[in-house]
Amino acid sequence: MDSGAIRRHPRRRLALAAAVLAAAGVLGLTATGTARAESASGCAGREVRTLPFASGITHVYKRNGYVCAVTVARQPGPSRTMSVSVQARGNRPVVDKGRYRHHAGPVTVHAGHRCVWIKGSVGKYSVSSGWILC
C-alpha cells in the first residue's frame, strides 16, 4: 500500500517542492532588496555626522528617532581591536567591541529627541563626540 501511495502522488510532491523553492527565491530577493536600501555601513537612515580620527572614521546615521553608528578602519588589514558605542542620554551605552579587520558595528539605539554620545576606536586611537544631536 505504501508503494502505491508514493506512485499515485508524485505530482503533489513536485508541486510542493516547486512552491518551497519559489518561496525561498522570493525571500532571497526581499532580503537582497532590504540590504540595498540600507547604507553600505549597515545603518539605515541618513548620515548626520562623521567623526574622523587617526586610524579610522565613525559614521553616525539617524532615522525615525533611532541613531546608528559604525567605526571603519582607514587601513583594513589584519584584525585589531575596534569598538563603537552609542549612548542615549539617560541610558547605558550600546557597545560593539572586538577584533575586526574592517569595521566595528553597526550599533543602534532609540534616542527619540534625546542627545547621544558616540565613541569609536581602532587600535590605540579613538574619538568621542560629547553630547550631540540634541
Domain ranges of the chain: 2-37, 46-132
CA distances from 116 to 45, 98, 108 (A): 16, 22, 11
Number of CB atoms found within 10 A of residue 118's CB: 25
Q: What is the pLDDT of residues 102-133, one digit of tens each?
A: 999 999 999 999 999 999 999 999 999 999 99
Residues constituting the chain: 134
Query: CATH assignment of 46-132, given 2.60.40, 3.40.720, 2.40.160, 3.10.590?
Result: 2.60.40
Q: What is the pLDDT of residues 26-82, one digit of tens each?
A: 444 333 333 333 455 799 999 999 999 999 999 999 999 999 999 999 998 899 999
